[in-house]
Structure 1
Amino acid sequence: MKPRIHPVSRPVVFRDRAADVAFLTRSTARSDKTIDWRDGSTYPLIDVEISSASHPFYTGTSRLVDTAGRVERFEHRYGRAGATKG
């Protein structure tokens, strides 16, 4: 790595607002907010909307989606699958 061209990496806490979970990791991201962590140190805090703690792919949960309305609109527009016209 070339010296003086890479941003400085430091410990940062990312907090998932949806799951109310926080992760301490290293990042180059900056923040004016801080949080007192479990080890007694203060770290920059970055709030995120979604992380592996709340994303349906990682948690194995699915969200309820109005698929019935979509299916009905599709059938109305294109007809039922397997239906014969004649």
Structure 2
Amino acid sequence: MRKDIHPNYKEVLFHDTNADVYFLTRSTVNTKSTREYEGVEYPYYPLDISSASHPFYTGEQRKTSTEGRVASFNKRFGAFGGRKKKSAE
């Protein structure tokens, strides 16, 4: 096996900022910041979303403040589709 070709595999503290949950696991991610967790200093990596806050895993539905593109289109141009064309007699 060749030496010095594998990344450094170490314990890393991941933080889901949406759910405010910490995960301690092993990873090869490179971080510049560290945090103390349960009395030990670990490399720290913040996350926007994880299994603790993702709607698929939590089962909760989130309402978005903006409506979808199709709903916005129908709201603007929906009345035009309701008109019937005059038939050529």
- TM-score with structure 2 setting the length: 0.71
Distance between the aligned counterparts of 2:13 and 2:34, measured in 1? 8
Distance between the aligned counterparts of 1:4 and 1:78, measured in 2? 67
Counterpart of 2:41, as a letter, is: T
Q: CA 1:73/1:4 → structure 2, altered by over 3 Å: closer, same or farther?
A: same
Moved over 6 A (4+): none
**Equivalences for residues 30-69 of structure 1 within 5 A:** 30-38=30-38, 40-65=39-64, 66=67
Counterpart of 2:46, as a letter, is: D
Distance between the aligned counterparts of 1:27 and 1:78, measured in 2? 56
Instruction: Name the structure 2 match of 1:83.
Output: none
The structure whose Rg is larger is 2
The Cα of 1:3 is off from its aligned counterpart by 4.0
Q: How many residues align?
A: 80
Distance between the aligned counterparts of 2:80 and 2:3, measured in 1? 62
- TM-score with structure 1 setting the length: 0.73
Instruction: Name the structure 1 match of 2:85.
Output: none
1:76 partner SS: helix
Q: Percent identity?
A: 42
Instruction: Name the structure 2 match of 1:14.
Output: 14
